[in-house]
Structure 1
Amino acid sequence: MPDQTDAAAAAETGGIQKVFEALSSAARRKILAYLAHSSLTAGEIADRFDMSKPSISQHLGVLESAGLVRKEKRGQYVHYSIVQESLANTLNSYVQEVCPVSRPLKKESAALKDRSDADES
């Protein structure tokens, strides 16, 4: 029977998978770029694209499911905003997993820099 740490790791991996699936679409990356500047309604987002409003809604649903955007009802409009900490934490976790900082890597990096400095002289 899997323990809680296995379940947490699986949930985190699933979350990372959802984020990368969400980021696999150029339209969704562009939506995130727009939302990085200010919150927007679905209509305001749709006005910036040459696609149907239902397609924009589908993209927003994927981003929301991945935890990259949140929506907030304000009056008769739903405003979408980016969840920057979710994106940053996910990407940071992935980078740490793939490229953990270690002493040999730092030494190798320093040695390469020393060699390139010597080559320039």
Structure 2
Amino acid sequence: MNANNSAFKAIADPARREILRLLRDGEMTAGDLAEHFDTSKPTMSHHFAVLVEADLVARRREGQTIWYSLNTTVLQDVVAWMMDLTEPTGRKK
């Protein structure tokens, strides 16, 4: 479950969870996302890189502008895995 491990690491940080929340309504530029945070550009770049590496967000470049969007497939996989944790396994204690 390596993909999920990187996804869980990515969503462990509150700022990255907020980035995902902001992207719920659609694609946003790196600059638009950064306006919601009081942090440095290198820190924001790191957050974006972690989310892209975990495949939770997609990145595309348009000239000098970088656009980010949610990768809902991976998010659905993570949620499904988490839901499996709440299902009984049928084993007796």
Tell me, yes or no, if structure 1 residue 77 matches structure 2 residue 65. yes
Larger Rg computed on CA atoms:
1
Choose between structure 1 and 2 for higher RCO, CA contacts under 8 A separated by at least 6 residues: 2
Normalising by structure 2, we get a TM-score of: 0.87
Moved over 2 A (4+): 99-103
Q: What secondary structure sits across from 2:25 in the alignment?
A: coil
Tell me, yes or no, if structure 1 residue 100 matches structure 2 residue 84. no
- Stretches of structure 2 that go unaligned for 5 or more consecutive residues are none
**1:75 Cα shift?**
2.9
Q: Is the 8 A contact 1:43 1:53 kept in 2?
A: no
Match of 1:65 in 2: 53
**1:94 Cα shift?**
3.1
Identical columns (%): 32
Which structure shows the higher helix fraction? 1
Normalising by structure 1, we get a TM-score of: 0.68
Aligned amino acid, residue 58 of structure 2: R
C-alpha RMSD of the superposition: 1.6
**Count of matched residue positions in the alignment of Structure 1 and Structure 2:** 90
